[in-house]
Structure formats: C-alpha cells, structure tokens
Amino acid sequence: MNRQIFNRQVFNRTRRAMAAALLAGAALCAAAPAAVADDSAPSEAGTSFRTATPVKLGEQATAQGSTGDYLYWQFPAGAGQQVTATATVTLPEASVRSGSATWQIDLFDGLRRRQACASGEPAKRVSRTDATVTLTCTLRTVRPWAERWSNDPLPGAYYLRLTTTDAPATDFGTPVRADVKATAKDAGGAQAGGGELGAPLHAAAVAEPDGGWNGSWWSDRWAWTVGGAVLAALAAVGGYTLTRHPHRR
C-alpha cells in the first residue's frame, strides 16, 4: 500500500468520524425543548393571590387598572430555570397627576413566600411627567428540591404583584395600563441534581413548563459531552495517522 492510498483512507476515516459526531450533536440539540408562542394572551389581572391571572412563560399579558390597585398574575417555573419578570406601566397623563410615586413588583412562590430578586430593578420612583416605568426582577435559579427551613425557590407557581406606593392620595383611582411578561432560561447542568420535589407548589392554575416541573433532560452537560466526543474522535484519528506507518512491499 503506497502512502497516497494510506493517507486517503485515513482522511475518509476522519471524515466519517467527524460526520457521526456532528450528527449526534445535531440530534441532541434538535431534541432540546423550544418555546411555543400563544396568540391568546391574557388581557386582565387578578386583584389577589386567589384570583391571579395565569400567564405562560414568554407570553405578554396586559391589564387595565387604577393607581393604588394591587394587580396579580401567576406563571410556572421548573427546576433549573432562571426566571425574569418584567412589568411596564403606562402612567396617567401628567395633567391628572399630583406628584411623584414609586411603582413596585414583588414575586412570591406557590407558598406565597416573597422571593428576593437576584438582579433587576423591582422598584422605581417616577416623576409627575414620566409617561412609563419598567420594572424587572430576576429570581434565583429554581431548585429541584430544598430543605424545609430554607427559602429557596422551588418548582411550581409563582405570583407577580404590581402596585404603587407612596403616591399622593388624590392620584388614587387614575387609570393605568400594565404589560407584564415572565421569561425563563436554563441555568445549565451545574444547577441540576441533588434531589427532586414530589409535586409542584400549588400549581393547579398554571400549565406545566415545557421541560417539566423537575427540569428537562437537556442541559449544557450534553453539549460538553458531545464536544468531548468530537475532540476525542479527532485526537484518536490524528494519533493513528502520526504513529502508524504504511506497509511497504
């Protein structure tokens, strides 16, 4: 066997190994869950925890309300997800407002325990002339389980409450519009494991997330596994090429 034929055979083996590894990676990526948009977005809000309006992740909800009202929505969150809630309030005309006020969103879990924001601006003070205000809150990553004494976020329903504080009494009752959305991203394999919650926390009114309450099988661990397999295949073929000598007649 001459060197040219040998090199061609090695090249073909390398190409087949790379193609197989890439196809495996593509199959895993294609199997990862994808968000599906829903055209029937809610157009109202509840006035208490019990009447909170269910909203799907990624769905834009709207509501008409009044300054001084408490507006409530609820959405699902599964293990391994990091949820960001956003609320934009369209304020009354400056001519009907007496002064500045602070708008605020609060997030609660299914047990109605207030959850701290890991990042974002959950409260802002607006002046009399401001037309809108946008509030954000990113929760800590939802855990698959937690000790009874902890306040860790767990899979289940989460409540978003929107209201204003310290507004002039004469401004109470003036009309406002609220646009809210909750989105989630996978925090990755580093946040997985450690146990599993038997049932979601009071989640009867909201739909189960695409990846399930206890998290999807897909995580960045799979991406690293596939990448490692590709590199291993290339290293094996490369080493074979460097160390093997063609047989000479």
Kindly list the domain boundaries of the chain, sorted by start residue: 3-31+222-243, 53-214
β-sheet bridge partners, residue 103: 124, 164
184: left (phi over 0), alpha (psi -120 to 50) or beta: beta
pLDDT at 111: 92
Q: Hey, how many other C-beta atoms are within 10 angstroms of the C-beta on 181?
A: 21
pLDDT, position 146: 80
pTM of the model: 0.71
The per-residue pLDDT for 217 is: 47
Rg (CA), the chain: 26
CA dist., res. 118 & res. 152, Å (int): 12
Low-confidence residues of the chain: pLDDT under 70: 1-39, 188-195, 215-249
Alpha-carbon gap, residue 5 to 79, rounded angstroms = 54
Domain 53-214 is of which CATH architecture? Sandwich (2.60)
Of 149, 139, 145, 159, nearest to 199 (Cα)? 145
